[in-house]
């Protein structure tokens, strides 16, 4: 009976697609619309994965954090009151989940301490990606180099660096989402850039927007996993 009621309600609800505004998606998700849940996941996957990847050490760990984040967010959607955007709200959940994940697997590490060597330096990234028949392969190799480089940063520096360079967020936006002082964000960005090696800077300008991608099949698979788990928990 419940399934028939929900099906009938879905038939009168406006169609969910890529142009549906966030407010309508949230309203539909609150009414247990699977299509709305999938669309919210699709829109937030890239940022949440990068946020998680900025704090954990592997893609697999980041995917686990993102899945846990979605499950927690949709189960507590009634607590979202619109004081911030949904992306900001769920980003904070992702950060908390990633930090808890790190504490579980590496309880001996300190995440508020950054140790720098005096010879670390970095400049704005000049140079460009190669063109030609092997450009795609070159970009893939470059992305791997950049990911290894960024992965070597301490977690607190890595997170703000990824949000700035990969997500294109301003220092004030990062400060808002991470609940930090903007001066702290700028300081961490400065220290992150100093940490990177000068000989790599000359070759990777414009490449950070390609690191830690989460789209295509991986994005669709995440939506499927979350929807299936929510279904098992009786969400739909």
80-120 per-position pLDDT tens digit? 988 889 999 999 999 999 999 988 876 655 444 444 444 44
Report CA-CA distances (Å) from 53 to 34, 69, 144.
26, 13, 14
Structure token pair of residue 31:
């009414």
Torsion of CA 19, 25, 31, 33, to 10 degrees: 50
**Residues 193-231 pLDDT 10s:** 888 765 466 555 666 677 788 888 889 899 999 999 999
The rounded distance, in Å, linking the Cα atoms of 121 and 192 is: 9
pTM over 0.75: no
The rounded distance, in Å, linking the Cα atoms of 170 and 39 is: 25
pLDDT of residue 129: 41
Domains identified in the chain and CATH numbers: 2-109+216-232 (1.10.1740.10), 135-210 (1.10.10.10)
Angle at 109 between CA 104 and CA 111, to 5 degrees: 95
Burial status of residue 165 (CB atoms within 10 A of its CB: 0-12, 13-18, 19 or more): buried
């Amino acid at each position: 009976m419940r399934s028939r009621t929900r099906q009938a309600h879905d038939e009168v609800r406006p169609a969910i697609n890529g142009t549906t505004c966030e407010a309508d998606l949230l309203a539909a998700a609150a009414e247990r619309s699977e299509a709305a849940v999938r669309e919210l996941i699709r829109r937030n996957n890239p940022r949440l994965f990068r946020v998680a990847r900025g704090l954990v050490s592997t893609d697999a760990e980041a995917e686990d954090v993102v899945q846990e984040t979605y499950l927690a967010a949709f189960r507590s959607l009634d607590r979202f009151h619109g004081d911030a955007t949904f992306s900001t709200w769920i980003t904070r959940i992702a950060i908390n989940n990633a930090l808890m994940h790190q504490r579980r697997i590496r309880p001996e590490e300190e995440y508020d301490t950054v140790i720098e060597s005096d010879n670390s330096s970095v400049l704005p990234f000049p140079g460009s990606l190669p063109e030609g028949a092997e450009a795609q392969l070159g970009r893939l190799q470059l992305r791997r180099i950049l990911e290894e480089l960024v992965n070597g940063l301490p977690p607190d520096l890595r997170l703000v660096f990824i949000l700035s360079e990969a997500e294109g967020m301003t220092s004030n936006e990062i400060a808002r989402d991470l609940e930090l002082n903007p001066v702290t964000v700028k300081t961490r960005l400065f220290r992150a850039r100093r940490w990177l090696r000068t000989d790599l800077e000359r070759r990777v300008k414009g490449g950070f927007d390609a690191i830690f991608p989460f789209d295509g099949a991986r994005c669709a698979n995440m939506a499927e996993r979350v929807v299936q788990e929510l279904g098992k928990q009786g969400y739909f």
